[in-house]
Amino acid sequence: MKIYLFFLLIIFPFFLKAQVEGITQRPFGKNRVQFKEFDWRMKTSPNFEVYYYDYGSGIADFAILYAENEFDRIATVLGHNPSAKTKLFIYNSITDLQQSNVGLENENSRTVGGQTNFIKPKIEIPFTGSLAEFKKEISFGIAQIFGNEMMYGGSIREILKNGALLSLPDWFMPGVAAYIAEPWSAEMDDYMRNSIKYRQLKRPHKLSGKEAQYVGHSIWNYIAIKYGESNISSILNLTKIILDEEKAIANTLGMPYEVFMEEWQKFYEEMGKKAMDDHSALEYDLRFKKNNHKQKIFNDIKISPDGKYVAYSENRNGHYAVVIRNLQTMSRKVVLRGGFRLNSQRINEKVPLLAWSDDNKLAVCYKKKGKTQFKVMQILGKKKKTVNEIHFAFFNQVTGFDISADGSTLAISSDRVGFADVQAGMNDIYMYDLRVRNMKRISTDLYDDTDPIFLGSSNETLIFSSNRIADSLNVPAGNFQTINDNYDLFYYNPQESSNKLVRLTNTPQKELQPSYFDEKTILFLSGKTGINNLYSLDLVSKEIRQITNSRQNIKKYGFSATTNDFAFRAWQKRKDRMFLKRNFDFAKNEKAIITPRLEYMQQKGLTEPETQEPPKEEIPQEIKKDTLPERPYDPNIIDTDDYQFDPEVVKEIKANPETNKKDYRNTSINKNKTKTDIDIKGAYPYEPLFTAESSVTTPIIDPLRGFGLLFEVELSDMLEDHKMKAGLFGLSDLRSSNYFAEYQFLKNRIDLIGRYDRKSLYVNQPNVGVAQRYATNRFSMTASYPFTNSARVSLSAGYMDKRSVDLLQLLREPNYVSYVHSRAEFSFDNTIPKGLNMVEGTRIKAYYEFNPSFSNINEGFDKILVDIRNYQSLSKEIVFATRLSGGRFGGRAPKQYMLGGMDNSFNQSANLAIGGAEPLNLDPENGNADLLFHEFATNLRGFGYNSLSGKNFILFNAEFRVPIVKYLFQNSISSNFFKNLQFTAFGDIGSAWDNSAPWKRQNDLNTTIIDSQPFLAIVNNFKSPWLASYGFGARTLFLGYYLKVDAAWKIEDFIISDKPTWLISLGYDF
């Protein structure tokens, strides 16, 4: 094995950055920011390896037990057993997950084609604040890994074959993983119920991201309901064989694919129609962010008690803000900003969280540099004033909080780390006294306690939501079998009992987000009918009323009892939006009508029907504002010692309605036999074992050396914290080549890179008696500091040399120059991929390179280069891309930029000749070793390489990119050639010069100075210093390589060429 890895490392290459001579294809690159170190450990079971770190042992055990119990079910649904143990990397929070390096190389990959990424059986799973959600995350992740291995194979041979031939739409595999995690989820149901009427959903192949997953989830759910779950594995296996998902669905179900899609659409349209008939759209007077072109995600929303202000939090790809709006003037003020753009990574949509203390004080919970922070601000006045600010390193994932009316106490629901007896994943209730900085823990178990609120003016009495099985804080710790997705509301008053709770609701659905309305009423959200609606609970009579009968899930809400304003989040036109309704009637009592989804689940026994009202307790008629009256404790409400999840026990309880043991909980987990004798070994320390990550084999056309082959391979450990790279660009003459070796250490905040480069150039002109070889070696060490995931600063230092040998005069001493190499670089890349060669965002690279020579002081030189690119989306498919680049060589021996040509072009080359145009001139005596450092400034289409040259250059490119087939044709396209076919219209303009810039009236190109003593003459030839071109082109994926064909008309001295110059090249971007 060691010999094999050594062979891969030395003979094959890795990710070849900067080996192509031009500057258009240079890499930019994103980053990961590590705020802390992760000490990984591993536990193993028969089918899984689970990796965890600080205080994560508890959720690792939870994950491994649940995963083993899910293994058979997932393998059966997919019809595939994995070939190796699946590796689960468990993160304590989404914030920790964002620091992972996994997948970073795929984001930065910019080869011209021929790349194969090896699929590894690993998945990263974050704890999101709820163990019930965590179970779904585990199932979804395992299904993804099993599905990808099933479709693309586990061996290198299968990956190479299927990766090149199989192209699946975005809805296909994510959809089946989502179905396995939760067959008919409320979230998917809500999206489809309100979105199926839009024509975009009739073409699932055109969707991407979360929308594609929702639609794919609905398709697989429909197949399982209508034709049986067993057909899922048949469709997947047939897709792998015939490489066409539409034909696989048609052949398996015995109907044309178009007919199937019509039936699927009709199924959800009928659901939508029933929702239209049985439910109503929520009325509103104002919609916040009417257009939302930046596609921000909204989270929390709260109205101040006096109804004058609304506060809400918004998030754009990880960059969040807290906004205050005056509801009278509608003026907008941002009171808090934070985070940074995460691009392709998962964002934490649960923060910031908001809570009003009084009419002027707003409390905010947010994340900063990986730590939880709370801030209390006075928002009145021109500037906000921070009243209190607390940093909690040990609060991991806060799911809800409230601040008391007097501003003295915080109620927090979160899991906590940092203590030996406290494990991540235990989401409990805490109280924190802001005055004395004292913490009190209320609950201690695995059950998810969330959304705590203070009752009235009290700073002790709480109401919160929980999926616990008993009305007590003294319950068994729980395990993966007892954790369910049913949440009820509970009342806690330490003055009455330190461990006794009062259950306020008892339904088989979720009751979340309680809010204090007045002395005897609280509001909350419930999915009692299958749709999250607003309900009220009378704390005296225990009467529950349904206030809204919305056809959309209400996701978050806020209100003012003073002005009766009601703000809420819900779907509208396939987007998550926020609304405000003034003078809302909170006294309404709507009729409860369940959705088809809930009907189906009740028929299948997947949830309990609500056949009667929950038992009512005898309680006093009046209630004080700050506390709930004491009630006699009845130990028979739930007997935790005899609590079972057996279906027969549930039937017995249902048959005896008098009993107080009634519990409407989902018992579906008992339908499958659970494994209890799982052999778990460990914990073992994590060892960074290297495996192949990716490989590339692709042709490269060098302007000086001609056609060659580029080989790449990449090795990394499972966490991709350690990377070893090597590369080889070889030519047919076997005398010219580039190769390098590199090691990257990316585990900590500062990334460290060690690299060796060698570049050699063989020049042979036998007709004039010239045979010379030039070579350069460079050793460098780089330290890179990422500010955000998009921006970083790098400093490099090392050694570089240049060697020139005359092969016809071997007795002649080689010319040898040594340099001290140093470089400072800024890189920025926040682009988001929208398709092949279709991105949106900005890229910037700027660096200064200083290379003084310690062997010959006159050989030193320096270099500045700036490259700025912007990609603006004009519609979902069309992108307008622009690029501005420029550079300057300086020092005692400045090199040259050669303007013109196109990178990796098949029908262009740069000519080396004795007496040729500088800087490609060959000196028969001394050669031209500076060819190793001269740089081609591309792309300037229509012109040949070195059309202009100089120590300075500037170049501007613009392109309209239209995926013409996808834009014009609405049907699914299976051919990679046509699916990725893109038409472009472009324009290029640039110039190169030595001393006088082209925008000056007298410049290097139009002015000649004749100095003949005693006369000095300045001659202006009126030649334009600018070269320009325009034209059109086509790009597509051809045999695994990105092929570009362009027709360019050049403009020189304001004259447009009669005929276009045709160019064929390989490579992405410009």
**748-794: pLDDT as tens digits:** 999 999 999 999 988 887 776 778 899 999 999 999 999 988 899 99
Query: Residue 652: what pLDDT?
Result: 38
Question: pLDDT: is 225 or 294 the higher one?
Answer: 225
The yes-or-no verdict on residue 111 having pLDDT over 70 is no
Query: Residue 834: what pLDDT?
Result: 81
Question: Collapsing DSSP states into helix, strand and coil, what is residue 258?
Answer: helix
What contacts 224, CB < 8 A, 6 or more positions away? 179, 183, 231, 232
Torsion of CA 996, 999, 1005, 1009, to 10 degrees: -50
Query: Residue 165: what pLDDT?
Result: 61
User: Which DSSP symbol is given to 531?
Assistant: S
Range with the poorest average pLDDT among 156-165, 483-492, 1029-1038: 156-165
Strands (E), 496-601: 502-503, 511-518, 521-526, 533-538, 544-546, 557-560, 565-572, 575-581
Q: How many CA atoms lie within 13 A of 359 on its CB side?
A: 8
Query: Residue 781: what pLDDT?
Result: 96
Q: Which two tokens stand for residue 902?
A: 């196109």
Q: How far is 379 from 457, CA to CA, in rounded Å?
A: 21
Single pTM value for the model: 0.84
Most confident of 146-155, 409-418, 476-485: 409-418
Q: How many CA atoms lie within 13 A of 769 on its CB side?
A: 4
Query: Residue 625: what pLDDT?
Result: 36
Other C-beta atoms lying within 10 Å of the C-beta of residue 976: 17
pLDDT-based confidence at residue 385 (cuts at 50, 70, 90):
confident
pLDDT-based confidence at residue 156 (cuts at 50, 70, 90):
low
Other C-beta atoms lying within 10 Å of the C-beta of residue 657: 10
The yes-or-no verdict on residue 319 having pLDDT over 70 is yes
Instruction: Catalogue all structural domains in the chain, each as residue range(s) with its CATH number.
Output: 167-278 (no CATH), 691-1066 (2.40.160.50)
Contact 397, 92 (CB under 8 A): yes
Angle between helices 209-227 and 230-242 (to 10 degrees): 120
pLDDT digits (tens, 9 = 90+) for 198-250: 777 778 887 888 889 999 999 999 999 999 999 999 999 999 888 888 999 99
Range with the poorest average pLDDT among 114-128, 609-623, 780-794: 609-623
Query: Residue 745: what pLDDT?
Result: 94
The yes-or-no verdict on residue 1070 having pLDDT over 90 is no
Range with the poorest average pLDDT among 106-120, 505-519, 557-571, 599-613: 106-120
User: Could you tell me what percent of the chain has a pLDDT over 90?
Assistant: 45
Percent of residues in the chain assigned helix, strand, coil, to nearest 5: 20, 40, 40
pLDDT-based confidence at residue 180 (cuts at 50, 70, 90):
very high
The yes-or-no verdict on residue 804 having pLDDT over 80 is yes
